[in-house]
Structure 1
Amino acid sequence: MSLDKLKLSKPLVAAMTDAGFLTPKEIQARTMSRILGGQDVIAVGPEGAGKTTTYVLATLMKLKYAFEEAPRALILVPDIEHVDHVLEQFKLLNRNSTFRILGIDSRGVIETQMNEITDGCDIIVAVPDRARALYLKLALNTNKIQLFIVDNAELIVKKGLQLPVVELANSAYKSQHVVFTEVLHDKLNHMIAPFMKDSAATIEVEEIGEKQAEVYQQMLYQVPNFRTKLNLLTLLLNDAEVFDKVVVFVNTRLTAQTVYKNFNHKKEGEISIYRSLFFDDKGYDDIEDFKANAEARVLIVANENLGELDIQGIPFILHFELPEQKETLIQRIVKHGDDDVVAITFSTDIELIEVRKIEQAIGQKLEVMELPEGLKVVDAASKPKKKKGEEDEDTSERGAAFHEKKASNQKNYNYSAGAKAKMTYKNKKGLS
């Protein structure tokens, strides 16, 4: 498909060609006509899909002429880095400097920014909280905004900036609303619901990269919050017949302790922590001791200052939290030899961004599993009330530490096959 199919002006086609964009991306081909036609749009696509270029082109096309006193396009982005990136894209494509474009973020003095806006501008690229502050000071006039754009909406939600977005969107009630995001989830839907029209089109493109390496069987559980994760972990790992040898990865040593305490320890030494933070938490200093002990079933490992860890031969790898660097998780799920391993990931809405980046990197989607029956889904707004005199956690069965020294180099176990990782987690949770 050629750029002509996007129905851009000749100057914009020339600017795109000069910038090296010779053919439109899928997201541009599928959204441009809708945006130019005035429809509200929710566009979902991975990093590098061409989302920024799409709305920069659409903005330059829709505004047609420049130099009005009040801004006619407001673009909200999550942080300073994104402000700079969007301004660069406008500089690349707004070749004749036809439009006056203003970047607004925390680096500027707010009084100076007030003066810059009132002096006149056509397009504002801003972080939500600073834009709201200028709106409340009556410097940002939203009455003439024709195009209200939210970019990287998933990061805006992650940063907790929903309130200023909704307030600004509602103030620009005459405008067309366009949202770009890498993922779509309940928290994001809750943010955009007050201002997106019922006729809004949702367009999703998936650009999974080429498969880089063979990985273990991947399963994904999507849950609303941390407490529900704890409930799900407990529910799954109560099945000792299936999960007979598991490594559970969390991000910090404090979280490792929280997860450990959440279990009802029915059997001494069954659940333990790798290099635990506190001496009264049962644990191991060497993973080989965990592998060698047939009674030890679950090892909780913190990513914090972890370094190398040999988890080969353990049939279940469970990521309770996603590590900060996707490469950390990917290294653990790359297939080694004939090992039969099931890799299970828990993800909240906020973490779905990282899940998508992992899928892009490994070249395949994680299989989404149905939440099991009996799972208690915790309402994030409510906290369980403690009865008077009740302890925070059940510590009655926690005895003295048993940081075992290395018992023997001789291995009398074979978890590498994991009985085909328990028939690939009982035929993907069919539990037949």
Structure 2
Amino acid sequence: MKFDELRLIPPLLDAVHASGYETPTPIQSRVIPLVLKRKDVLACAQTGTGKTAAFALPILQQLAGQVPQNRNMGGRNQPRKNQPRKIRSLVLAPTRELAQQISDSFSTYGRNLGLKHTAVFGGVNKNPQSRTLRGGVDILVATPGRLLDHMSEGTISLDSIEILVLDEADRMLDMGFMPDIRRILKQIPKNRQTLFLSATMPAPIRELANEILSDPVAVEVARVSSPAESVEHLAYHVEKASKRSLLSNLLTHIAYSRALVFTRTKHGADKVVRHLMHGKISAAAIHGNKSQNARTRALDDFKSGKVGVLVATDIAARGLDVDGVSHVINFDLTDEPETYIHRIGRTGRAGASGVAMSFISSEEHDNLRGIQRLLGAKMQLASDMPGYKAPTEPVVLQGEERSGGGGKGKPRRSNAAPKQAPYFPKKKGTRRPPKPGRNRSGAKKRSVQTAAR
């Protein structure tokens, strides 16, 4: 399939072709027609699948009011001159970097349409954002916290929203944004189109999807929480104190175009950068303690190739969209297997090969076991290299037996990923009431005693 077959209007096709794209990704070929038909969509897709264009292109087409003559999709006309623009589409994103990148996509694809858009997020002065909002925009991309700030100050009204997008909903859940999102939803018309995108589908995300979607079409372009098949997974067993030396040795001896390094903490990211810079390896860090200007500069340097290594925490790197990342290095192994999938989603994109390297200390064996269960396979042990000696015998993880059965009569554990039942959104009004004495999740209700003050 080609983009020309998706019934996009000529200005959008011109912008897509000018960006060098001819063939849509699987999620784009499935989601774009659904959005143009004004269907609610629940899409499960990992980072790097092209999901931003999957919703940005049809939103631009709907708001531009131009549709192919032989399709009745109910497009609306653009606002008249001298008539203030009202926000007609709202895109919620978990981080400022992702919000900015989504806004950039609207700029790229909508440059020939005359629509206005902007992004609002924390970490920068609110005044320029307020001035832009008062001038009127058609599309708003926002992080939940900064959006609520503007709503409380009266610079944003959401009563004209026609299309709502929740992007990377699972990460917004992880970051504690669910109460903010529910406050925002109360201010948005219920008669709207909603697009819900998430890389994983934990129970709270499914519950939220059931609440806000109306007869949605579920789209899944890959097995939930599955990595790209073109990524090679390598394990380096190394003690914590030796990780920085191993990293600098690796980056000195391997051929990489861009390397993205993940650390558990902000302080750890800064220490890694200082170590690499001391060894004459160009590196920069992005994390929550960095100013927005510093983060933008580091990201721009990484994209341009001025900096070859970007060291990041998980939250700061969420939604990071950079082409040509050849290596993702887990300096600190995450204790959440799904986060491993998010991390390595930055390499091996669009069928390209990629390498995911994980530094595993003895304290991180439990984390490795959880990741391997999710992968459905064991990571490949890395080979010897200068500064690193691979184990000569299989590494026995804590709690595992070297061979034979499960030990002490217990069955052997399987490394296969647990099967997850396919998710079909419930229709409105079909939710079963909880059992007496239990809440929606099935847990027993706790009695709450109020202490006198």
Query: What secondary structure, in the 3-state scheme, does the structure 1 residue paired with 2:228 have?
Result: coil
Note the 1:170-189 alignment, pairs <5 A.
170-172=186-188, 173-189=190-206
| Counterpart in the other structure of 1:98 | 114
Return the match for 1:428 from 407, 413, 420. Answer: 413
**1:195 equivalent in structure 2:** 212
Between structure 1 and structure 2, the one with the greater Rg is: 1
Change beyond 3 A, Cα 1:133–1:120: same
Once the two structures are superposed, the pairs formed by residues 287-326 of structure 1 within 5 Å of their partners are none
Cα distance per residue 1:322-379 (max 9 Å; x no partner): x96863379x9xxxxxxxxxxxx963xxx5132454587669x944599xxxxxxxxx
Aligned length: 275
Deviation at 1:21, TM superposition (A): 0.9
Cα distance, 1:61 vs structure 2: 1.0
For 1:208, the aligned partner's letter is: A
Distance 1:417 1:48, change over 3 A: closer
Distance 1:324 1:424 in 2: 39
**Mean Cα displacement is larger for which, 158-167 or 16-25?**
158-167
Deviations 1:118-173 (A, max 9, x none): 32211111111111222233332212111111112222222211122222223212
Residue of structure 2 equivalent to 1:327: 329
Q: State whether structure 2 residue 138 is matched by structure 1 residue 122.
A: yes
Partner of 1:51: 51
Q: Which residue of 2 aligns with 1:62?
A: 62
Closer, same or farther in 2 for the Cα pair 1:329/1:115, shift >3 Å? closer
CA deviation after TM superposition for structure 1 residue 177, in Å:
1.0
Pair 427,97 (structure 1): closer, same or farther in 2 beyond 3 Å: same
Alignment-mate amino acid for residue 69 of structure 1: R
2:26 partner letter: E
Give 1:8 shift: 0.7
How big is the shift at 1:16?
0.4
Relative to structure 1, the CA distance from residue 353 to residue 6 in structure 2 (aligned partners, 3 Å threshold; closer, same or farther) is farther
Q: TM-score, normalised by structure 2?
A: 0.52
Aligned to 2:340: 354
1:251-266 → structure 2 map (5 Å cutoff): none
Q: Structure 2: how far apart are the matches of 1:69 and 1:358?
A: 40
Q: Which residue of the partner structure matches residue 212 of structure 1?
A: 232
Q: Which residue of 1 aligns with 2:24?
A: 24
TM-score by length of 1: 0.54
Counterpart code for 1:51? K
Residue 422 of structure 1 aligns to a residue whose secondary structure is coil
Q: Would the alpha carbon gap of residues 184 and 329 (structure 1) be closer, same or farther in structure 2, given more than 3 Å must change?
A: farther
Which deviations, in whole Å up to 9, do the C-alpha atoms of 1:261-291 show, x marking residues without a partner?
xxxxxxxxxxxxx99xxxxxxxxxxxxxxxx
Aligned partner of residue 161 in structure 2, secondary structure? coil
Q: Deviations over 1:227-284 (max 9, x none)?
A: xxxxxxxxxxxxxxxxxxxx999x9xxxxxxxxxxxxxxxxxxxxxx99xxxxxxxxx
- Alpha-carbon separation, structure 2, partners of 1:211 and 1:355: 11
CA distance in 1, matches of 2:157, 2:184: 10
| Paired residues of 2:44 and 2:201 also in contact (CA < 8 A) | yes
Does 2:164 correspond to 1:148?
Answer: yes
Q: 1:355 to 1:23 in 2, by over 3 A?
A: closer
Over aligned residues, Cα RMSD in angstroms?
A: 3.9
Q: Is the 8 A contact 2:9 2:61 kept in 1?
A: yes
Q: Which runs of 5+ in 2 are unaligned?
A: 66-76, 243-263, 276-311, 315-327, 349-353, 357-370, 377-391, 416-453
**Is residue 47–residue 342 contact of structure 2 (8 Å, CA) maintained in 1?**
no
Alignment check: 8 A CA contact 1:182 1:353 kept: no
Give 1:79's aligned amino acid. T
C-alpha deviations, 1:43-95, integer Å up to 9, x for none?
12122100111111021011124345211001111222122211211121112
Q: Provide the identity percentage.
A: 19
Instruction: Give, in whole Å, the separation in 2 of the partners of 1:164 and 1:417.
Output: 45
Q: Residue 59 of structure 2 contacts residue 163 of structure 2 at CA under 8 Å; is this kept in 1?
A: yes
How far apart, CA to CA, are the structure 2 residues paired with 1:422 and 1:2? 51
Q: Structure 1 residues 194, 138: closer, same or farther in 2, change over 3 A? A: farther
Letter in 2 for 1:151: D
Deviation at 1:424, TM superposition (A): 7.2
